[in-house]
Amino acid sequence: MIRRIARRGLRELGRTGIYQRLPDRHNDVLVYHSVGGGGYDDIPQTQFRRQLEWLTDAYEVVDLPAVREPGERKRVALTFDDALESFDETVLPLLREYSVPATVFVIGGSLGDDPTVTELRGEPLMTAERLRAVADDPLVTVGSHTTNHVPLTELDDESALRAEITGGAERIEAELGVSVDRFSYPFYDWSPAVHDVVREEHEYAVRGQGSEALITAETDPHLIPRINGAAPLSTLKFTVSDSNKHLTRRS
């Protein structure tokens, strides 16, 4: 309870703009799901536009691997889990408008002649046809979000685990004609055993929310932490700032 109150107070402090006068050097990754689509963790299109205006003005918005490298300014990467229809309809036009790269993590089971997953938490997933067009955009990189979007630590054996991790990427590659080297853990669920398989199959992997984590060249490329982008701009400005990370780590 005390910790929650302290964090709420720190976010209110962030609204005063004090974070703008503190050092801000460590890079970040933002995670989104639905944008203007009414699905899980949905944010309005206007809110996402305001975020892009601020991010492109204040920081260097880069492709995911570049957050582990230093730049002239703080770097931020954008990621989108589930490959929902709103990515194509709402997000991609804004990425083009602001010339911002992003990674979209696709559920392999949503592709093929007999998809096992067609919608997720109230919003349809992009079809293979739509995803092929999205994947052709130079701003977009496609990653894997497993085969069926299940909690990986609940799988009984290694063969089932590999079917989700390896099988999802293989289906995406076969259906979309792309090379997949990025992975997102469903439900932010992972364990050392899951991590080992992901590390064998992918170059990079992103995990769940962890605004206190500082991304540097030493960050495990298969456990890159992310901040939830589905937040008001005033809150996001504070959670992205280094001041939030340093203060919350001490609270």
How much is the pLDDT for 22? 53
7 within 8 A of 248, measured Cβ to Cβ? yes
The H-or-E segment that residue 205 falls in is: strand 204-209
pLDDT at 214: 79
Q: What is the pLDDT of residue 131?
A: 97
- 62/59 Cα distance (integer angstroms): 9
pLDDT at site 5? 41
Task: Give the C-alpha separation, 80 to 228, whole Å.
Answer: 10
The pLDDT mean for the chain works out to 89
The H or E element spanning position 76 is strand 75-81
> Residue 212 has what pLDDT?
58
- What's the confidence (pLDDT) of residue 20? 52
194-203: buried (b, 16+ CB within 10 Å) or exposed (e) per residue? bbebbeebbe
User: Which amino acid, residue 44?
Assistant: P
Query: Residue 135: what pLDDT?
Result: 97
User: Which residues of the chain fall short of a pLDDT of 70?
Assistant: 1-23, 209-213, 243-251
Q: Provide CATH code, domain 26-232.
A: 3.20.20.370
CA 175 to chain centre: 22
